[in-house]
Structure 1
Amino acid sequence: MTDELPDSQGLQTVHQLRALTVDLDLLAAAFARRNRLHPTDLRALIALLDAARSGTPATPGLLGRELRLNSAGTTAVVDRLERLGHVRRTRDPDDRRRVLLEVTEQAMTLGQSFFGPLIADAVALVNDLSPAELATVQGFLTSMRALVARHHTAGPPGP
């Protein structure tokens, strides 16, 4: 570790990334509030949608790991989302002992109505990048996620 401050461009970029994160968190909080969701409920829906997109079976165990919740906390989230009609529990057709979680069409429509315009604009912005610019952005985002995960795993620094 060095005592030197990051260069001004690097620090400015970090501040822009932080500002974007805050803006997106505020937008997500507004959506959650408007739809009587806890912020964790929204994170759960996103995790379930990501699992579906990747073809990964979404189980309560997977959701708990993604949200870093114990089984009681995960059950509470799933119960809330099920009561609101956003998630349904089904039995795995290959293993009837296993419960699968699925985001309902109602929840997808609700999310699309709120976030759809932003997503469409973001996709258009990305589509305007050159292949080299896109590779740079994707590389940066991948590296940042790995960096954040590493710091999260390490925990706070000692005394």
Structure 2
Amino acid sequence: MEIVHLLRAVAVELGLHSARFAHANGMHPTDVRALIALMDARRAGEELSAGRLGTALGLNPAGTTALLDRLERAGQVRRVRGAGDRRKVVVEVTEGAVEFGRSFFGPLIERSVELLHGYDDHQRGAIRDFLEGVRQAAAEPAHTSPDDTSQGEP
């Protein structure tokens, strides 16, 4: 349980780090989550439509439109035609937004990479497998009611 509690503490600290970024830049936490999703899609070479982004963030269409309008006015995203299907509109993060995020999150990312250099390939693989498993578990729908504490402490 020590590792699970440590993971929870890391998740809290990362959430606070993102919240500080959002607050310092007059953004809503969902704006930061949207930019992260768009940067992840960019890194993976995937196009992300407004609908898919909204679904990933748990937003309805009106909320997604308001979010994108806000980020577009701030120069952080743009709506463009899809590369494979020109009829499709996709959302892209701008280079300015990438640099904006890198200026704040870069030191944390660099420190994390430095820490990983202390592990061999096998250990990094185990860490990757563990984190991916936890990510998948967290993405699954809850199977218990909020008042069901039989699954362990929060």
TM over 0.5: yes
Where does residue 120 of structure 2 map in the other structure?
130
| Structure with the largest fraction of helix | 1
The aligned amino acid for 2:110 is A
Compute the displacement of 1:155 (Å).
5.0
- Determine the C-alpha separation between the residues in 2 that align with 1:62 and 1:126: 32
* Residues 1:83 and 2:73 are matched in the alignment: yes
Where does residue 142 of structure 2 map in the other structure?
154
When the two structures are superposed, what TM-score results if normalisation uses the length of structure 1?
A: 0.86
- Determine the C-alpha separation between the residues in 2 that align with 1:91 and 1:133: 42
Where does residue 57 of structure 1 map in the other structure?
47
- Determine the C-alpha separation between the residues in 2 that align with 1:30 and 1:155: 32
Q: What whole-Å deviation, never above 9, does each CA across 1:50-96 have from its counterpart, x for those lacking one?
A: 11111111110110121121111111110110011100111225433
When the two structures are superposed, what TM-score results if normalisation uses the length of structure 2?
A: 0.88
The aligned amino acid for 1:53 is R
Where does residue 8 of structure 2 map in the other structure?
18
Displacement over 6 Å in runs of 4+: none
- Determine the C-alpha separation between the residues in 2 that align with 1:21 and 1:57: 27
The aligned amino acid for 2:105 is F
Alignment of structure 1 residues 110-129 onto 2, 5 Å:
110-129=100-119
The aligned amino acid for 1:157 is S
Which structure carries more relative contact order (alpha carbon 8 Å, separation 6+)?
A: 2
The aligned amino acid for 1:34 is A
Structure index of larger Rg: 1
Of the three residues 19, 27, 45, the one matched with 2:35 is: 45
Q: Which moved more, 1:118-127 or 1:24-33?
A: 118-127
Q: What whole-Å deviation, never above 9, does each CA across 1:12-63 have from its counterpart, x for those lacking one?
A: 2111111111111111000001111100000000000111111111110110
Q: What whole-Å deviation, never above 9, does each CA across 1:84-126 have from its counterpart, x for those lacking one?
A: 1100111225433311111111111111111111111111111
Q: Which moved more, 1:17-26 or 1:126-135?
A: 126-135
* Residues 1:27 and 2:17 are matched in the alignment: yes
RMSD: 1.6
Unaligned runs of 5+ in 1: 1-10
The aligned amino acid for 1:123 is V
Identity, % of aligned positions: 48
Aligned length: 147
The aligned amino acid for 2:92 is E
